């Protein structure tokens, strides 16, 4: 609530800057995921205990940061703590011969390290509703057909429209050096590539359990609205304002996976804070 808020004249400032921030509504999670998150599935407890591992199994990117396991594995309430600079990595679309597949590669291979029933359910769900699976499959096919251009930047023009649906526009090869807003896809190779925490799809590419239908995360081109007194703090929504809005409980988002994700939600919050602070330091 705003400091000028009263019972008769409530003003909501912390959540949305009195209407200056208005993000697209989070979509409802598929029913099989809601059952796991809400405790309506016989394997809900084990799923919620290891939700970070399940997410890691299906993520298109890795969390490239040093985790403080002394805190994470300590007795008592679960805590997620990181040390050092935060970054996300994306690997090659095909693993080196003899190596186990990781990240996006898992969509072309079986993974049985976690509970098979849960894994199969999540795999089927994501194959049905997640747009990035088809995106990576399409990229993989293109790169298999033109392997001699490796390594190059493959610039996807996947666009999210105002209703949150997707269309696959043109794929094109760009010869110039990739900038920090691009995701670089490689067919082969042992090195992972860093993707920017300011990339439009930074969040849904990693937190696939919380954002199973894709969507977009924070980026630097989200426009602010004008408030009730025609005020506007900034023309673009800041990272802090974005997450202040996103972390609020809303009636229309009660069936979205974000706030139900327990330990994975804690990781998301730490990720958001670290990304925001890192962005401020980069700006300075």
CA distance 284 to 264: 30
The tens digit of pLDDT for each residue in 229-280 reads 667 666 788 888 888 888 888 888 899 999 999 999 988 988 888 777 776 6
Asked whether residue 70 carries a pLDDT value surpassing 60, the answer given is: no
CB 27 within 8 A of CB 213: yes
CA distance 123 to 139: 19
pLDDT band, very low/low/confident/very high, at 170 (cuts 50, 70, 90): very low
Please compute, for residue 164, the number of CA atoms within 13 A of its CA located in the half-sphere on the CB side.
16
pTM, to two decimals = 0.67
Q: What's the Cα-to-Cα distance from 278 to each of 64, 149, 242, 274, 284, rounded to whole Å?
A: 14, 34, 15, 6, 10
The tens digit of pLDDT for each residue in 84-96 reads 444 445 555 555 5
Of 210, 195, 219, the residue nearest 255 (C-alpha): 210
């Amino acid at each position: 609530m705003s400091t000028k808020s009263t019972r008769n004249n409530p003003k909501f400032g912390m959540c949305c800057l009195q209407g200056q921030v208005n993000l697209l509504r989070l979509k409802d999670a598929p029913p099989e995921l809601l059952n796991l998150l809400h405790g309506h599935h016989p394997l809900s407890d084990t799923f919620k205990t290891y939700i970070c591992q399940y997410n890691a199994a299906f993520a298109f990117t890795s969390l490239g940061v040093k985790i403080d396991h002394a805190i994470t594995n300590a007795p008592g309430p679960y805590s997620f703590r990181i040390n050092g600079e935060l970054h996300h990595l994306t690997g090659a679309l095909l693993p080196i011969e003899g190596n186990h597949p990781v990240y996006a590669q898992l969509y072309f291979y079986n993974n049985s390290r976690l509970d098979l029933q849960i894994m199969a359910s999540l795999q089927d769900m994501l194959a049905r509703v997640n747009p990035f699976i088809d995106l990576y499959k399409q990229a993989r096919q293109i790169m298999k057909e033109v392997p001699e251009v490796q390594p190059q930047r493959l610039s996807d023009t996947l666009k999210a429209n105002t209703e949150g649906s997707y269309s696959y526009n043109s794929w094109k090869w760009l010869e110039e050096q990739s900038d920090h807003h691009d995701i670089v896809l490689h067919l082969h190779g042992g090195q992972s590539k860093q993707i920017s925490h300011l990339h439009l799809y930074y969040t849904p590419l990693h937190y696939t359990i919380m954002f199973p239908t894709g969507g977009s995360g924070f980026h630097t081109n989200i426009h602010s609205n004008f408030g009730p007194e025609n005020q506007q703090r900034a023309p673009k929504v800041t990272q802090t304002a974005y997450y202040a809005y996103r972390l609020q409980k809303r009636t229309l988002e009660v069936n979205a996976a974000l706030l139900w994700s327990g330990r994975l939600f804690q990781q998301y919050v730490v990720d958001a804070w670290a990304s925001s602070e890192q962005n401020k330091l980069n700006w300075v």
